[in-house]
Amino acid sequence: MPVSNPYQLPFVLDVASRIAPSRVLDIGIGLGLVGAALRQYLEVCAGRLERRAWRVRIEGIEIFPAYRTPLWDWAYDAVHLGDAQEVLGGLGEFDLALVKPATATFRRNLLQLDQLELKGPETQFRTRGYIRAAAPYAVNLSTDGSLDIALLTAFLPELSLSGESAFQFAIRGSLSQPTMAGFVELKDGLASIPNPSFDASAVQARVTFAGNKIVLESLKGELNGGTLEARGGLTAAFGSDQSFEARDVDLRLQAANMYLEPVRGLKTLTDATLQVTGSSAGLTVSGDVTAQESSYDEPVMFEQALLQSLRGGTSVTTLEESEAAIPIALDIAVRTLVPLEINNNLLRASVESDLRLRGTTAKPGLTGRLTIDEGGQLFLNERTYTVERGTVIFTDERRIAPTLDIAARTRVNEYDITLRVQGPPGRELQTTLLSDPPLPEPDVLAVLATGRRLDELEGSESAVVREQVLSYLAGSVGGGITQRAGRARRWRTSSTR
């Protein structure tokens, strides 16, 4: 398609594809080139945005009837002749309006954008200026207007956004070291992320540009029922390849009384104070996250996973190295102000946390400890154990590798039985079963499964339990011990927990 001034079309098409208009008005259509581009390319954008039934009606207003050309008949559904001022009051019928013709020239390595103005629902852009594409390389562009930030969901489909923004921005000087001036303001912003659930509302923010400084002067709002504040800034620079670089990053964020559910079933009322520092070469996120209150009640399918872990069937996994352009280091303290209350099918206990998230986002590590308060209850294989000692220690700054030290006691008939679990999950984990009065470990297992020692069992019940005891001692048992021992329990004639 022949286009005499194509340089404005990428901008027009980009804005149009984000707005996804069903009606477009082009005021001052000239030769009809913008309408022709929209007619030819918007259906492609529609397919990319998965709006397969999208059909665009394009109308134009030409205030110079003598400029009418045959191109109009193809490019526009309707062309109105007359004074554009007479129809400005009806712009609300249209999703996108090209209020002024976008004119650009490119002569002697100078791209000149005389004026581009776009209007849509709650949205208006005005852009003008030039770029010199030969030595001395230079830029002088300015833009201002307003934007409904809901348009950004075309680029961030996982977000739900709304709010009004106003902006005024200019960039001038050499292409290698341009200077900036202007601001961006957001009023009554709303943002929502479904997983994990974050809902921000009543967000007010202002960002200013001065020279090579970008400053977040203020950001305030509500986040998950609590409050959110942030401020900070960075120094902007351009590399030898004209790529953008951020230097002297210093962003501080403070949130209070947020209701969070970082994983299903874990409900917390949380405060956080975080700081982001560094540059494009690498960032560090540091600070404190404190749970004022927390509880966990999600059922856990634990017995099979635990037994496989005891026998070496699983290992601790770490995240693979990320290919993210900017490495992000972590140094965040995670604490519980009051103990985490766990009440599910596995555990009823209070757990205290004093942890520090280290490493990087690609390879996170964890140091510190979790402590299960004495007297908590552990439920395994229809038995209730009382926790006498319970700690989970983390010492590796480059991976999440817990070391367990747990002792829990239960009573079966006249026997007090203690289960001890020590070491890291996997083949190095050591488990010990002791009883009072003392019994050999095979008999302890039989008592746990049936309420009786091996020499007290008869027939098929004895064969099943003996097989499971031998498998357990040989280290080959997985989750099957829970199911088969449960069947043996049902076969026994009597048992007292």
Q: Give dist(CA 254, CA 272) in Å, integer.
A: 6
Q: Is the pTM of this model over 0.75?
A: no
74's enclosing H/E stretch is: helix 71-75
Q: Is the CB of residue 472 less than 8 Å from the CB of residue 445? A: yes
Q: Is the CB of residue 433 less than 8 Å from the CB of residue 473? A: no
Q: Give dist(CA 124, CA 145) in Å, integer.
A: 5
Q: Which domains does the chain have, with CATH numbers?
A: 1-104 (3.40.50.150), 441-497 (no CATH)
Q: Give dist(CA 78, CA 328) in Å, integer.
A: 54
Alpha-helix runs per DSSP H in 163-314: 303-310
Instruction: Give me the residue label for tokens 């490019």.
Output: 75
Provide DSSP, 351-413. Answer: EEEEEEEEEBSSSEEEEEEEEEPTT-EEEETTEEEEEEEEEEEEEESSS--EEEEEEEEEEET
Phi, psi of 133 (to 5 degrees): -95, 20
Neighbouring residues of 329: CB distance < 8 A, sequence distance ≥ 6: 282, 283, 284, 285, 359, 360
Q: Give dist(CA 322, CA 319) in Å, integer.
A: 8
54: its two tokens: 């999208």
Q: Is the CB of residue 374 less than 8 Å from the CB of residue 359? A: no
Cα R_g (the chain), whole angstroms = 34
Residue 366 burial by Cβ neighbours in a 10 Å radius (0-12, 13-18, 19+): buried
Q: Give dist(CA 400, CA 211) in Å, integer.
A: 43
CA nearest neighbour of 412 among 469, 489, 342: 489
Provide DSSP, 215-250. Answer: EEEEEEEEETTEEEEEEEEEEEEE-TTS-EEEEEEE
Digit-by-digit pLDDT tens for the chain (497 residues) are 222 233 456 667 777 777 777 788 877 675 566 676 676 666 555 444 444 456 778 888 776 665 666 767 777 888 877 665 565 566 667 777 776 555 556 666 777 777 667 666 677 878 888 888 778 888 898 999 998 888 777 667 788 889 999 999 999 998 778 899 999 999 999 999 988 789 999 999 999 999 999 999 999 999 999 999 999 999 998 766 667 789 999 999 999 999 999 888 899 999 999 999 999 999 999 999 999 999 999 887 654 444 444 444 444 444 444 445 689 999 999 999 999 999 998 899 999 999 999 999 889 999 999 999 999 999 887 889 999 999 999 999 888 888 999 999 999 999 999 999 898 876 677 888 899 999 998 888 888 888 888 888 766 666 666 566 555 544 433 333 344 344 444 444 333 33
Tens of pLDDT, residues 4-27? 233 456 667 777 777 777 788 877
Q: Give dist(CA 13, CA 40) in Å, integer.
A: 11
DSSP state for residue 65 in the 8-state scheme: G
Q: Is the CB of residue 165 less than 8 Å from the CB of residue 190? A: no
CA nearest neighbour of 405 among 361, 372, 439: 372
Q: Is the CB of residue 306 less than 8 Å from the CB of residue 319? A: no
Residue 132 burial by Cβ neighbours in a 10 Å radius (0-12, 13-18, 19+): middle
